[in-house]
Chains A and B, each alone.
Chain A
Amino acid sequence: MRREKDTWSYVNIWYLIIPLAYVTFLFLIPIFKMIYMSFFEFQGVGKALGVFTWHNYARFLMDLYYWKVLGLTVGLSFLSAVICAVMGYPVAYHLCRVNAKAKHILTALSILPLWVPITVRLFGLMSLVETGTLLAVELGLVYCGLPYMIMILTGPIGNVNRSVEEASYVCGAGFWTTFFRITFPLTIPGLVSGFMLVFALNTAAFVVPVTLGNGKIITMTTLIQQQATYIYDWGFAAAISVIFLIVSMIISNSGKLYDLWQARKAARSEKLLRTAVRGEGENL
Chain B
Amino acid sequence: MDYQLELTNVAKHYKDFIAVDNVDLQIKKGEIISLLGSSGCGKTTTLRMIAGLIEPTKGTIRIQGENMNGVPPHKRDISMVFQNYALFPHLSVYENIVYGLKMRKIRDKKVLMERAREMMDIVQLSGVENRLPRELSGGQQQRVSLARAMIVEPKVMLFDEPLSNLDAKLRERTRVEIRNLLKRMNVTAIYVTHDQEEALTISDRIAVMNKGKIEQITVPTELYTKPATKFIAGFVGHANFFEGTVQHVDGDRILVKSKGRHLIQAVVPGAGRLSAGKEVTLAIRPENILAGASGQNMPNLVSGTVTARIYLGSTVRYLVDAGEGKEIEIDLQTKHLVDCGEGDTIHFSLDENNLILVNR
Chain A interfacial positions (CB closer than 8 Å to B): 161, 163-164, 166-174, 177, 182, 185-186, 270, 273-274, 276-277, 280-281, 284
Contact = CB atoms under 8 A, between A and B. Distances in A.
B129 A169 contact: no
Given A170-B74, A171-B103, A177-B103, 7 more contacts: A161-B89, A163-B82, A166-B86, A172-B77, A172-B100, A273-B92, A280-B113
B88 A164 contact: yes
Given A163-B82, A273-B94, A280-B113, A169 B130 contact: no
A168 B51 contact: no
Given A161-B86, A182-B88, A273-B92, A170 B129 contact: no
A1 to B, nearest CB: 24
A172 B152 contact: yes
Contacts, number: 79
B153 to A, nearest CB: 12
B90 A171 contact: no
B234 interface: no
B113 A276 contact: yes
Find the residue from A172, A173, A185, A281 having the highest chain B CB count within 10 A: A172
B53 interface: yes
A173 B103 contact: yes
Contacts of B89: 161, 164, 186
Contacts of B73: 166, 169-170
A170 B103 CA distance: 10
Nearest to B132: A266
Find the residue from A166, A182, A185, A273 having the highest chain B CB count within 10 A: A166
Contacts of A274: 130
A172 B103 contact: yes
A164 B113 contact: no
B167 interface: no
A177 B104 CA distance: 12
Interface residues of B, number: 34
B158 to A, nearest CB: 8
Contacts of A173: 74, 99, 103
Interface in B143-199: 145, 148-149, 152
Contacts of A273: 92, 94, 129-130
Given A170-B78, A172-B103, A277-B129, A185 B90 contact: yes
Contacts of B87: 164, 167
Q: Say whether chain B's binding surface is mostly helix, strand, loop, or mixed.
A: mixed
Contacts of A161: 86, 89
A185 B89 CA distance: 10
Interface string B69-80: 000111001111
A173 B100 CA distance: 8
Contact of B114 (A164, A170, A186, A280): A280
Interface of B: 51-53, 72-74, 77-80, 82, 84, 86-90, 92, 94, 99-100, 103-104, 109-110, 113-114, 117, 129-130, 145, 148-149, 152
Contact of A167 (B72, B80, B92, B104): B80
Nearest to A186: B90
A280 B129 contact: no
Contact of B104 (A164, A170, A172): A172
Contacts of B149: 170
Contact of A174 (B74, B77, B110): B74
A177 B72 CA distance: 14
6 contacts: A163-B82, A164-B89, A169-B53, A171-B148, A186-B90, A273-B94
A168 B114 contact: no
Contact of A280 (B51, B52, B110): B110
Nearest to A188: B90
Contacts of B88: 164, 167-168, 182
Contacts of B114: 280, 284
Find the residue from B72, B74, B104, B152 having the highest chain A CB count within 10 A: B74
A170 B130 contact: no
A173 B74 CA distance: 6
A167 B160 CA distance: 12
A173 B73 CA distance: 9
A169 B152 contact: no
B202 to A, nearest CB: 21
A171 B99 contact: yes
B152 A167 contact: no
A274 B88 CA distance: 20
Given A277-B129, A280-B113, A169 B74 contact: yes
Nearest to A185: B90
A277 B82 CA distance: 28
Contacts of B84: 163
Nearest to A283: B110
B72 A169 contact: yes
A159 to B, nearest CB: 10
Contact of B82 (A166, A177, A182, A280): A166
Shortest Cβ-Cβ A-B pairs, 7 listed: A172-B103, A167-B86, A171-B100, A163-B86, A169-B73, A170-B80, A270-B130
Contacts of B113: 276-277, 280
Contacts of B82: 163, 166-167
A168 B72 CA distance: 12
